[in-house]
Amino acid sequence: MPAAPACAQAFDAAAVEAWARAVLRRSGLRDDDAGVVARSLLFADRRGVHTHGVARIPLYVLRLARGGIVAAARPEVVVSTGALTVVDGRGAAGAVTATLGVQQAAAGAQRHGAAVTLVREGNDFGAAGYYASLLADAGLVGLAACNTDAVMGAPGSATPVLGTNPLAVAVPGTSLLLDMATSAAAHGKIAHAAAEGRAVPEGWGLDAAGRPTTDPGRILDGGVLQPAAGAKGFGLAFMIDVLAALAGAHTSPFITSVDGDPARPQDLGMVFLAISTAWSTEPSAFQASVANLVGAVHATATAGGQPAMVPGEPEDACRARLGPRIRLPAPTLAELLEVARQTTLPFPAADSAPGDGEEEVP
């Protein structure tokens, strides 16, 4: 039987972000680029999504050292038609490339009402929701998506062929944020469960023999992730790969795994879509319509009597509970302390006793 997960410890979020920035800078990134990456990671941790937060620092440090993330690279706009931009990431840190993609989409939407940025030669960018939220912060409905290396099988198949290919949509003036993998669960959640020795829900993956399993180790050791909602999630992941191909990026079967050869950039694709509400309808009418939709959902109740929630509310509630802190699970903290030792940059001290459980959003 899997062991019970170790309790998480609380840390000041700003202190951890400053530490992450210093580590990335010492690992070769320019100061501004290190800040961009650190902010993107803390966005996830503040919302209780540990798998996409500073847990990725050890991997990024390794890839910077080996060349899979090209520290000196400058992402470049290679096509600009006004409403359509294509960015070549040049193997730079994924968050740096993605942020340029967001900026280009936002500028285009403000001029034309809507704009899209396609990205090639990208690396892992963390949480897709961060970039959709940047667009929402600029007053735009924002969509962000990317493809990843092949870890998910087609319905009925035990062979990995597509990535988890996440998709996020954010709405300005609200806390609405859909941020989802197109697999039944993000790869990082399964890896996180394996590190803590706990089972995962049925339906998340198959073992190497194609049998359903709740053992995350068996899923990761030659098995496959299952698509969300069967053929529907698989179809959505497939079309995100098609959009990546439109940018000139590799598709999932040909992407270097983020935890594979650390000397090779991944060459994954990204998509950023920005839509101005001011161009399509009266902004106040749009906000009222969205508020009515949220209210209609809130007026219902789940089978267990719990309140019905809309996309982004579970994570937003977690962020409110955490306040200025984040919680780091024991396996993640152990890896970060090792990075601190190797870089001689002390990790911030915990600001409380061990927590009474995970703050991670399901």
Helix (H) or strand (E) holding 318: helix 313-322
Task: Evaluate if residue 112 carries a pLDDT over 80.
Answer: yes
In terms of Cβ atoms closer than 10 Å to its own Cβ (0-12, 13-18, 19+), residue 342 is middle
224 phi/psi in degrees, rounded to 5: -140, 150
CA 301/CA 7 separation, integer angstroms: 31
Closest CA to 69 of 267, 250, 247, 344: 267
Q: Please report the pLDDT score of residue 302 as a whole number.
A: 76
pLDDT band at 195 (very low <50, low <70, confident <90, very high): confident
Q: Which CATH architecture has domain 1-66+316-362?
A: Orthogonal Bundle (1.10)
pLDDT band at 5 (very low <50, low <70, confident <90, very high): very low
Cβ neighbours of residue 264 under 8 Å, at least 6 residues apart?
A: 67, 68, 256
Q: What percent of the chain has a predicted confidence (pLDDT) above 70?
A: 95
End-to-end C-alpha distance for the chain, whole angstroms: 21
* Beta strands across the sheet bearing 152-153: 160-162, 152-153, 224-225, 205-206
Q: What percent of the chain has a predicted confidence (pLDDT) above 90?
A: 88
Task: Evaluate if residue 117 carries a pLDDT over 80.
Answer: yes
- Was domain 73-183+227-280 assigned CATH 3.30.1220.10? no
pLDDT band at 361 (very low <50, low <70, confident <90, very high): low
Mean pLDDT (the chain) is 94
Average pLDDT score over residue span 139-153 = 98
What tens digit of pLDDT does each residue of 173-186 get? 999 999 999 999 99
Q: Please report the pLDDT score of residue 324 as a whole number.
A: 97
Closest CA to 81 of 117, 42, 38: 117
Give me the residue label for tokens 């992941």.
Answer: 237
Domain ranges in the chain are: 1-66+316-362, 73-183+227-280, 289-314
Q: Are 246 and 196 in contact (CB under 8 A)?
A: no
CA atoms within 13 A on the CB side of 272: 32
Count of C-beta atoms within a 10 Å radius of residue 192? 23
